[in-house]
């Protein structure tokens, strides 16, 4: 039992709440406070990763809730805190999108981080759900941060409602877990009774696919792009979308126990990686390209959970977090500097500031899986396991990997092209500071693939016996990625596909298949409510008043008269009651005698007859 697991999320959480409650008054100190808090949280996270504390508390009758830092959690908490620290440093220097309402922005970011920390350390579904939900709510608030912009708020709604639709699965899972195992412990879910276990798995998979923006719910991530760049950076790297992948990796035993869920997850991930790779390639907007690539890369992690590549999936998650936060921050710099995200207008942007440009180049090449950068290794460690699983799966994943090389090359080629950039605004030192750090991590995290390092990594995650990235596979993927990247850089194909440009029409499909029928049903139910139920209620009211009027006119006079008659009658009786008190003693005595005689006769007679 230790306080550290509680302290870790509580520190950023309480700091976030304090900033939110204080409001505009804290705008000045908010950046410094938030960065300091995140730095301390990072120290705590490292401490927790080393000591592996656990803590539980009674929740409801017979249930315990707990937080614990085990191998997977320790990787996640350090990643979350490190990425959050880097992004908040960037945001502290950001003079663009989050210039206003800094207390609100940093408060929400801290609370968002705290929720992610709870999610990745929870040992039971109750706390996990709590973190999960707070994270969803914060994502809504952050995507719609510029609330004066109506379209931003609408996009936030789309993102929130879509992820919430998946979240329903987690509630179903919690209920079924309680029914099946009698507890909410994550570790015990795989041992549940038969029908319940399958329902739990279905709920968890639905929630995770929704959160991780996998097919067919990918479109919300496109809408999430309207948020400020630091928000995108945090949302797409170590939090939110990562939560879905984390949950699936964490519950890999449950997926394996049901059988079908593991196949479903593996293929959902692989297809997402492939199709969203196509989508990414078709984008003209840098942030949209990166968003689609996030879906695709998370597809690899989800596939890892399906095929059981625990160590590979976790490594890919960490490496991708560094890469993607870096790329979004760079996109943020250019958006602030040039006011555009259009790849065509960003030509030559990377040449204006070499720190930003080189960092972006390193990150993008890593995203494309170019050796020797990190994602090349981590992706291959997943593909190695997938190849053993099914050659078809491997083929799809390899195609997806080549697509990632293609869209990464497209982005690099666009920003490094020689071009004329107008209206440049120099990024501040704080904005530039995290970029090389993240680039370094993006470049070197591939070292995890070295056999001795991977061995330790496997042990850390408790995935003994999982094969590391194979040399043959590495060679093949590396050569192909280099070839594709080189081709992409040389010919700069403005590859465009109308269907892929708007994300395969997923949002329209969802709107057509789900939103419209639901709204139509809601409208008809509302009509039913207005006409029938409300009408009945109004009818009762009207009938009541009518009846009351009738009673007032017809019956009340009678009741009133009765009351008056009772009063008058009692008054007359009262007069009568004073009559015996004549004041004359002889009448008293006579009356008393009559009374007694009467009593005697009555009692004697009743006794007689009985």
Partner 1 sequence: MRDDPLDLLPELFVLFGAVLGLLALTVSPKGGARWVAWLCALGLTGCLVTAVVAAFSPGGTVFGSYVLDPLTNVVRGVAALATLPCLVLARGVLARGGGLRPEAHVLMSLAALGTVTLAGAGDLLVLVAAYLLASVPGYALAGLSGDAPGTEAALKYYLVGAFLGVLTLTGVTLLYGLAGTSAYPGLGGALRAVPQAAVVCALVALFAGVMFKAGGVPGHFWVPDVTEGAPAAVAAFVTTVPKLGAFAALLRMAEEFLTSSAADWRLLLALVSVATMTLGNLAAFRQTNVRRLLAYSTISQAGYLLLPVVAVPAPLARPALLFYLGAYAVTNLGAFAVVVATGRDTLDGYPGLSGRSPALACALAVCLLGFAGTPPTAVFLGKVMAFTAVWQGGYAWLAVVAALNTVASLFYYLRWIVPVFRPAPSPGGDVPVRSAALTAYAAATASLVLGVAGGVVLPP
Chain positions contacting partner 1, by CB under 8 A: 570-571, 573-578, 580-581, 583, 585, 588-589, 591-592, 595-596, 599-600, 602-604, 606-608, 610
Q: How far is CA 469 from CA 194, 202, 211, 543, in A?
A: 36, 30, 28, 79
The rounded distance, in Å, linking the Cα atoms of 609 and 327 is 110
Cβ proximity to partner 1, 522 vs 599, nearer residue: 599
Question: In the structure encoding, which two tokens stand for residue 80, read together?
Answer: 């979350």
Q: How far is CA 186 from CA 65, 173, 463, in A?
A: 10, 11, 18
Which lies closer to partner 1 via its Cβ, residue 1 or residue 573? Answer: 573
Q: How far is the CB of 609 from partner 1 (least distance, A)?
A: 11
74, 48 in Cβ contact below 8 A? Answer: yes
- Angle formed by the axes of helices 374-389 and 471-491, nearest 10°: 120
CA-to-CA separations, 589 to 388, 393, 595, 601, in angstroms, rounded:
121, 119, 10, 18
Q: Closest separation between CB of residue 599 and partner 1, Å?
A: 5
Query: Is residue 216 reached through a cis peptide bond, with omega within 30 degrees of 0 on the bond before it?
Result: yes
H, E, C per residue of 33-66: HHHHHHHHHHHHHHHHHHHCCEEEEECCCCCEEE
Q: Residue 61 or residue 575: which is nearer to partner 1 going by CB?
A: 575
Q: What is the dihedral of CA 458, 462, 465, 470, to 10 degrees?
A: -30
- In the complex with partner 1, which residue's Cβ is closer, 1 or 576? 576
Residue 607: CB minimum distance to partner 1, A: 5
Nearest CB to partner 1, comparing residues 95 and 581 = 581
Q: Give, in degrees to the nearest 5, the angle at Cα 21 between 18 and 24.
A: 105
The sign one gets for the Cα dihedral 483, 296, 344, 235 is: negative
Residue 560 C-beta: closest distance to partner 1, Å: 18
CB 386 within 8 A of CB 316: no
Q: Any alpha helices (H) in 122-193, and if so which ranges?
A: 125-143, 150-181
Nearer residue to partner 1 within complex by CB, 550 or 598: 598
Whose Cβ is closer to partner 1: residue 517's or residue 571's?
Answer: 571
* Vertex 395 angle, CA 393 and 400, to 5°: 95
Q: How many CB atoms lie within 10 A of CB 425?
A: 14
Residue burial 184-195, b: 16+ Cβ < 10 Å; e: rest: bbbeebbebeee
**Residue among 456 and 577 whose Cβ is closer to partner 1:** 577
Quickly list DSSP for 341-369.
Answer: -BTTTTTTHHHH-HHHHHHHHHHHHHHTT
In the complex, minimum distance from the CB of residue 567 to partner 1, in angstroms, rounded to a whole number: 9
Shortest Å distance, C-beta 532 to partner 1: 47
Phi and psi at 465, nearest 5°, equal 90, -5
CB of residue 565 vs partner 1: minimum separation in angstroms? 15
Instruction: Please report how close the Cβ of residue 579 comes to partner 1 at its closest, in angstroms.
Output: 9
Residue among 391 and 567 whose Cβ is closer to partner 1: 567
State in angstroms the smallest separation of the CB of 1 from partner 1.
46
Smallest gap from residue 597 Cβ to partner 1 (A):
8
Residue 584 Cβ vs partner 1, minimum distance, rounded to whole Å? 9
């Amino acid at each position: 039992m230790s306080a550290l697991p509680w302290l870790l999320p509580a520190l950023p959480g309480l700091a976030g709440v304090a900033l939110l409650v204080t409001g505009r008054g804290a705008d000045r100190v908010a950046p410094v406070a938030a960065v300091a808090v995140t730095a301390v949280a990072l120290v705590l996270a490292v401490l927790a990763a080393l000591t592996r504390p656990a803590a539980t508390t009674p929740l409801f009758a017979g249930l315990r809730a707990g937080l614990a830092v085990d191998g997977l959690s320790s990787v996640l908490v350090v990643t979350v805190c490190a990425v959050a620290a880097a992004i908040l440093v960037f945001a502290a220097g950001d003079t663009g999108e989050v210039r206003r309402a800094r207390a609100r922005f940093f408060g929400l970011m801290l609370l968002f981080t705290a929720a992610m920390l709870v999610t990745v350390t929870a040992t039971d579904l109750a706390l996990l759900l709590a973190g999960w939900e707070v994270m969803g709510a914060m994502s809504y608030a952050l995507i719609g941060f510029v609330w004066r912009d109506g379209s931003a708020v609408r996009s936030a709604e789309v993102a929130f409602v879509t992820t919430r639709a998946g979240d329903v699965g987690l509630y179903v899972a919690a209920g079924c877990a309680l029914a099946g195992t009698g507890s909410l412990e994550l570790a015990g879910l795989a041992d549940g009774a038969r029908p319940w276990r399958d329902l739990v798995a279905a709920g968890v998979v639905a929630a995770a696919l929704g959160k991780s923006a996998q097919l067919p719910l990918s479109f919300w991530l496109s809408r999430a792009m309207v948020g400020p760049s630091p928000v995108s950076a945090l949302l797409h790297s170590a939090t939110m979308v990562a939560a879905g992948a984390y949950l699936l990796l964490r519950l890999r035993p449950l997926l394996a126990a049901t059988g079908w869920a593991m196949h479903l997850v593996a293929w959902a991930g692989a297809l997402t990686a492939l199709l969203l790779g196509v989508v990414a390639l078709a984008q003209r907007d840098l942030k949209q390209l990166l968003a689609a690539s996030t879906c695709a890369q998370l597809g690899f992690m989800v596939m890892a959970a399906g095929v059981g590549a625990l160590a590979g999936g976790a490594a890919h998650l960490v490496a991708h977090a560094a890469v993607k936060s870096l790329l979004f921050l760079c996109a943020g710099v250019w958006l602030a500097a040039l006011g555009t995200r259009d790849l065509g207008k960003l030509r030559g942007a990377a040449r204006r500031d070499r720190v930003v440009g080189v960092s972006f180049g390193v990150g993008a090449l890593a995203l494309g899986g170019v050796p020797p950068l990190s994602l090349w290794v981590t992706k291959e460690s997943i593909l190695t396991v997938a190849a053993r699983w099914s050659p078809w799966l491997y083929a799809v994943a390899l195609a997806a990997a080549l697509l990632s090389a293609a869209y990464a090359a497209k982005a690099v080629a666009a920003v490094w092209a020689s071009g004329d950039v107008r209206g440049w605004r120099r990024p501040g030192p704080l904005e530039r500071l995290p970029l090389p750090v993240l680039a370094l991590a993006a470049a070197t995290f591939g070292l995890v693939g070295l056999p001795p390092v991977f061995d330790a990594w496997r042990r850390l995650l408790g995935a003994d016996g999982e094969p590391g990235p194979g040399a043959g596979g590495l060679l093949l993927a590396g050569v192909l990625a280099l070839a594709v990247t080189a081709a992409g850089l040389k010919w700069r194909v403005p590859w465009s596909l109308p269907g892929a440009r708007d994300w395969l029409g997923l949002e329209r499909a969802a709107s057509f298949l789900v939103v419209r029928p639901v709204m139509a049903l809601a409208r008809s139910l509302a009509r039913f409510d207005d006409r029938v139920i409300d009408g009945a209620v109004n009818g009762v009211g009207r009938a009541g008043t009518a009846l009351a009027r009738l009673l007032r006119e017809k019956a009340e006079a009678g009741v009133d008269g009765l009351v008056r008659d009772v009063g008058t009658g009692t008054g007359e009786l009262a007069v009568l009651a004073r009559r015996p008190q004549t004041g004359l003693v002889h009448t008293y005595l006579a009356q008393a005698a009559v009374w007694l005689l009467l009593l005697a006769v009555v009692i004697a007679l009743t006794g007689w007859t009985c």
